Copies of this chain bind each other. A is one copy, B any other.
Amino acid sequence: MSDHLKLSNQVCFPIYNLSKEVINHYRPILKELDLTYSQYLVMLVLWEKGEQNVSEIGADLNLDSGTLTPLLKRLEQKKLIERNRKKSDERVVSISLTKEGIKKQEQAEGIPSKIQESLNVTTEELQDLKRIIDQIITQINK
């Protein structure tokens, strides 16, 4: 067969694989906080930026309302966030952290270092990877 359809020559495949592998390393660590990886990403946005609209969170994480609405309802059920329609524009749903949600950040502080340890890679390797990926993502979005 022609080489360019060989799995080992696909670039897409290592990316897809690494992404799954990394998320699999997060799973047991995040389970202690009762969060999935996507839920953790939403919490990161809220911890960093505070109150945000659904669409603002979606813009940061590249997720649409079809993904976010049920996910945010689960975070609401866990009492980590509140969902409130804006008085000024009833179409907009504003997401804010509860006290419990704010407190969760303390538990999350140790996660990045735990992940790095779990992945068994150096900070430099990760920075290299991040730099190249950021470059390619910029390239793609041109």
Taking Cβ atoms with an 8 Å cutoff, the residues of A that contact B are: 1-2, 4-7, 9-23, 25-26, 37, 41, 44-45, 47-48, 60, 62, 105, 108-109, 111-113, 115, 119-121, 125-130, 132-137, 139-140, 142
- Smallest beta-carbon distance A104→chain B, Å: 11
Please give, as numbers and ranges, the residues of chain B lying within 8 Å of A10 by CB-CB distance: 44, 112
A140 and B119 within 8 A (CB): yes
Copies of this chain present in the complex amount to: 2
Interface of A is mostly: helix
Please give, as numbers and ranges, the residues of chain B lying within 8 Å of A4 by CB-CB distance: 109, 112-113
- Smallest beta-carbon distance A22→chain B, Å: 5
A136 and B7 within 8 A (CB): no
Given contacts A11-B126, A18-B15, whether A139 and B112 have CB atoms under 8 Å apart is: no
Alpha-carbon distance A137/B105, docked complex (angstroms): 29
B12 and A22 within 8 A (CB): yes
> Can you name 6 extra interface pairs (CB under 8 A) apart from A10-B112, A12-B26, A21-B137?
A6-B44, A7-B48, A14-B130, A16-B19, A120-B140, A129-B136
